[in-house]
Amino acid sequence: MSWKKLLGPFKREDPRVTAPMISWHIILIILGIMIIFVTAQTFIVEAYPDRIAAMVGVLACYLIFVCLLLTGVVWLVWRQTTGKPLRMIARAARNVASGDFGVQIRSSRKNNKMNEIDVLIEDFNKMTQELAGNEMLKSDFISNVSHEIKTPLSIIQSYTKALKDGYSTPEQTEQYIDTILDATEKLNVMIANILKLSKLENQQIFPKPETYQLGEQLRHCALNFMEKWQAKAIEFEIDVADVAVHYDASLLELVWNNLLSNAVKFTDEGGRIYLVSKVKEDTVSVTVKDSGCGMDSETCNRIFEKFYQGDTSHASEGNGLGLALVAKIIDIIGGKIKVESSPGTGTVFTVELNI
Q: What is the pLDDT of residue 136?
A: 67
Helix, strand, coil abundance in the chain, percent, nearest 5: 60, 10, 25
Q: Is 99 helix (H, G, I), strand (E, B) or coil?
A: coil
Residues 181 and 227 in one domain: no
Nearest residue to 215 via CA among 76, 64, 353, 25: 353
CATH (domain of 243): 3.30.565.10
Residues 167 and 282 in one domain: no
Burial of 203: CB neighbours in 10 Å, binned 0-12, 13-18, 19+: middle
Residues 214 and 336 in one domain: yes
142 inside domain: no
Task: Name the pairing type of β-strands 235-239 and 272-280.
Answer: parallel
119 inside domain: yes
Total count of domains within the chain: 3
Q: DSSP letters of 156-191?
A: HHHHHHHHHHT-S-HHHHHHHHHHHHHHHHHHHHHH
Q: State which of 99, 129, 159 marks the end of a domain.
A: 129
For residue 277, list its beta bridge partners: 286
136 inside domain: no
Number of helices (H), then strands (E), in the chain: 12, 7
Domain extent, residue 100, equals 3-129
How far apart, in whole angstroms, are the C-alpha atoms of residue 306 and residue 300?
Answer: 13
17 inside domain: yes
Q: What is the pLDDT of residue 18?
A: 61
How far apart, in whole angstroms, are the C-alpha atoms of residue 264 and residue 289?
Answer: 10
Residues 219 and 330 in one domain: yes
Residues 225 and 157 in one domain: no
How far apart, in whole angstroms, are the C-alpha atoms of residue 324 and residue 302?
Answer: 10
138 inside domain: no
pLDDT in tens, the chain (355 residues): 454 444 444 455 666 666 655 666 667 776 777 777 777 767 766 776 667 666 667 667 777 877 787 788 778 877 777 778 888 888 888 888 887 877 888 876 666 677 777 888 888 888 888 777 766 656 665 665 565 677 678 888 888 888 888 777 888 888 888 888 888 887 777 777 667 767 776 665 566 788 999 999 999 988 888 888 888 999 999 999 999 999 888 888 888 988 998 899 888 898 999 999 999 888 999 999 998 888 888 888 878 776 666 554 444 444 467 788 888 888 888 899 999 988 888 899 999 998 8
309 inside domain: yes
Predicted TM-score (pTM) of the model is 0.52
Residues 185 and 232 in one domain: no
224 inside domain: yes
Q: Is 55 helix (H, G, I), strand (E, B) or coil?
A: helix
Q: What is the pLDDT of residue 217?
A: 92
Q: What is the pLDDT of residue 213?
A: 93
Residues 227 and 285 in one domain: yes
Residues 243 and 162 in one domain: no
Residues 254 and 334 in one domain: yes
Residues 162 and 278 in one domain: no
Residues 87 and 178 in one domain: no
How far apart, in whole angstroms, are the C-alpha atoms of residue 44 and residue 41?
Answer: 5
135 inside domain: no
Residues 216 and 349 in one domain: yes
